[in-house]
Amino acid sequence: MVYMDYDTIFGSLSDFGYSMPERDDLINKVNSIATQFNLDLEDFVDELLASAVNMKKSEIDLGVLEHMEAELSRKLGDNVHKMSTLSSKKSKRSEPAFGQRTADQCGFDASCIEVETTIHEDFGFTHITGKYREFSPIMNVVLRKVEGKLFANYSVVLGSVSITILSSIPEDTYANDKISNVIDAKCGRMTNFGARCRQANPEISNWSVPVSGSTGCEYVYGEIVKEISEDILLSDQSVSLLVDNELGSVIKLDLTRLPEITIFPGQMVALFGSFENGDRFVASLQLFPSPLPLSPLGRSANDGNLRLWCACGPFTSTENCSYEPLCDLLDMVKQQQPHVLVLMGPFVDRKNNFLKNSHFSVEYEDLMGRLMKSIARSLDGCRTELIVLPASSHDACCNYSFPTSPFVINSDIYKKLGRAKCDLVTELCVHPQIMAHLSKNEWHRSVDKENRDRIARLASHILEQGSLYPLFPSSLPTSIEECEKVCTLRNAPHMIICSSVLPTFIKIVDRTVVANPGTLVRGVGGTFLRCEFATSYLADGTANLADCSKYEIIQL
């Protein structure tokens, strides 16, 4: 029997800003579901969060648990039906959905890589001999789909896709910051935010630095900081503002008069109010900056649709190191040949129990190199552009710091990307934990709190703040100086791929499509993101990207 105590469940939920009352009936229900469906803590919390988000609740009650139980029963029934159907038919791969390219048209070349023909280590119940073992036919299920009204399938064979890297490669890592550079970076970010607010709110004639005891109403902007006492939780009555002036003045805030407020440490805000003869600046109005201009659309040399796939790790079960789901995905890529494949880490997962086994003797760097060679073999003769992104918090082959430094491996088959422009479309990939960190640190109050789209609100912080990681202090080891250089946004991307352990989603936030592909290995079936952009509509600059594109979350 699986047993989970209250403290363990509560701690896992609190990481994402959720809670659960300490009641015996809830704990009994939790353990009943975990035992019935044989779920470990991580899978259980994933499914529980999915049900909570679907029901728009931030506190777990019996209704959420019953919803989760019903969903798990439905998924189990669907899987049993698929397996029974599969066993009665001859295994057969489906034809490519978007058109097949011939081998002589392919541009991916792995011939420059020295490939070992045999690998004799036992990577968890699988003996690998030169290539991954054969798999059963892939059963794909579309879990979520968003299709624009102007989108049209166009399966013409395209030429090579132009990929331009927009983000700079981090130079320094955690603890190498110079104080003067950090101050300059923070002041620069504040100044840019203030300029955007004045652009959107012409009534702001000038900014002030209020002094305690003054009674006049003034406009002020700065960065949200927590109270000095660590015992006081962030709220509309226990928060301060770091003002943009030479002294770095800090004033205490009272935000209780605002009808709706969302705050988190490091957030830039602009307020109108006064001290009203007290020691706290009482805000009566919050002002917002002008939206970031959308990245300009270039012109593509191709007339057909641009196809992009994205999958996020982990790519193998925590109990082995055979990478079977990744092999299945690459098999699909070889058949359908999208123009771009983005693989986001972790690749060699620090949490993988099999890697911690005393009998596992392979160095992590060697394992990563072999994995890259296996990927190269799988995509040999395929024209798909491959982009590999590390996840520093979980990848064992890169430094645990943010912004994430590139992988250091002996292979040149991949490109490094933070922000990239693929022909017309500007795509942005953010850190796998940013949504979870925002969820944990955000404090929100509104009249209809439970009826708002929480995921869309979390994603909107990235665009409103103009930063890929707007939290400060960071929940990750962070180079503040590098963070400001690499993560600052001057234009809004057309698409944000926001890998997260939160449930999969596809949202349109202020003209930007935000998607969470989920992970390739998760519970009863992993997921990945499949996108198709009708570039012929985008080229003339009159259409919105969301109207001309199709986004699908596919269950592997």
In tens, the pLDDT along 158-198 reads: 455 555 555 556 665 656 677 888 888 888 889 999 999 99
Residue identified by tokens 């890998």 is 499
Q: What is the mean pLDDT of residues 116-134?
A: 41
Confidence of residue 95 (pLDDT cuts 50, 70, 90): very low
Measuring CA to CA, which residue among 135, 137, 133, 134 is closest to residue 91?
Answer: 137
Tell me the C-alpha to C-alpha distance, in Å, between residue 548 and each of 152, 153, 307, 516, 540: 8, 10, 12, 19, 12
pLDDT reading at 118 higher than 70: no
Of 29, 50, 74, the residue at which a domain comes to its end is 74
Residue-wise pLDDT for 519-548, tens only, equals 998 766 789 999 998 877 665 555 577 788
Is residue 379 domain-shared with residue 421, that is, in the same domain? yes
What is the token pair recorded at 155? 């399966």
Q: What is the DSSP string of 23-78?
A: -HHHHHHHHHHHHHTT--HHHHHHHHHHHHHHTT-SB--HHHHHHHHHHHHHHHHH
Residue-wise pLDDT for 355-370, tens only, equals 888 888 888 888 888 8
pLDDT reading at 238 higher than 70: yes
Is residue 271 domain-shared with residue 328, that is, in the same domain? no
Name the more confident of 25 and 39: 25
Measuring CA to CA, which residue among 396, 486, 487 is closest to residue 170?
Answer: 486
Mean pLDDT for the chain overall: 76
Q: What is the CATH number of the domain that holds 279?
A: 2.40.50.430
Measuring CA to CA, which residue among 365, 340, 469 is closest to residue 415?
Answer: 340
Distance between CA 431 and CA 475 in Å, rounded?
Answer: 12
Sign of the Cα torsion 11, 343, 429, 503 reads negative
Classify residue 177: in a domain, yes or no.
no
Is residue 412 domain-shared with residue 348, that is, in the same domain? yes
What are the phi and psi torsion angles at 530 (to 5°)?
Answer: -125, 120
Classify residue 55: in a domain, yes or no.
yes
Is residue 326 domain-shared with residue 233, that is, in the same domain? no
Distance between CA 66 and CA 30 in Å, rounded?
Answer: 10
Respond yes or no on whether the N-terminal peptide bond of residue 259 is cis (omega within 30° of 0). Answer: no
Is residue 232 domain-shared with residue 380, that is, in the same domain? no
Q: What is the CATH number of the domain that holds 69?
A: 1.10.8
- Is the pTM higher than 0.75? The answer reads no
Give the whole-number percent of the chain exceeding pLDDT 90: 21
Q: What is the mean pLDDT of residues 313-325?
A: 86
Distance between CA 63 and CA 60 in Å, rounded?
Answer: 8
Distance between CA 504 and CA 146 in Å, rounded?
Answer: 13
Asked whether the beta carbons of 373 and 386 are under 8 A apart, the reply is no
Residue identified by tokens 């579901």 is 33
Identify the three-state secondary structure at position 515: strand
Distance between CA 139 and CA 525 in Å, rounded?
Answer: 10
Q: Under 8 Å CB-to-CB from 94, ≥6 apart: which residues?
A: 137, 138
Of 23, 50, 74, the residue at which a domain comes to its end is 74
Within 10 angstroms of residue 230's Cβ, the number of other Cβ atoms is: 7
Q: What is the CATH number of the domain that holds 487?
A: 3.60.21.60
Is residue 251 domain-shared with residue 383, that is, in the same domain? no
Confidence of residue 149 (pLDDT cuts 50, 70, 90): low
Is residue 283 domain-shared with residue 332, that is, in the same domain? no
pLDDT reading at 112 higher than 60: no
Identify the three-state secondary structure at position 193: helix
Taking the CA atoms of residue 407, residue 408, residue 411 and residue 415 in that order, the dihedral angle to the nearest 10 degrees is 30
Kindly give the residue spans of alpha helices, DSSP state H, lying in 119-178: none
Asked whether the beta carbons of 312 and 432 are under 8 A apart, the reply is yes
Sign of the Cα torsion 122, 127, 133, 135 reads negative
What are the phi and psi torsion angles at 332 (to 5°)?
Answer: -65, -40
Is residue 234 domain-shared with residue 349, that is, in the same domain? no
Tell me, what DSSP letter sits at residue 545?
G
Of 18, 53, 74, the residue at which a domain comes to its end is 74
Domain count, the chain: 3
Measuring CA to CA, which residue among 492, 506, 502, 496 is closest to residue 550?
Answer: 506
The boundaries of the domain holding residue 208 are 202-287
Name the more confident of 270 and 383: 270
Classify residue 219: in a domain, yes or no.
yes
Classify residue 94: in a domain, yes or no.
no
Classify residue 421: in a domain, yes or no.
yes
Distance between CA 182 and CA 395 in Å, rounded?
Answer: 27
Measuring CA to CA, which residue among 368, 361, 349 is closest to residue 407?
Answer: 368
Measuring CA to CA, which residue among 529, 492, 541 is closest to residue 512?
Answer: 492
Strands 385-389 and 280-287 come out as unpaired
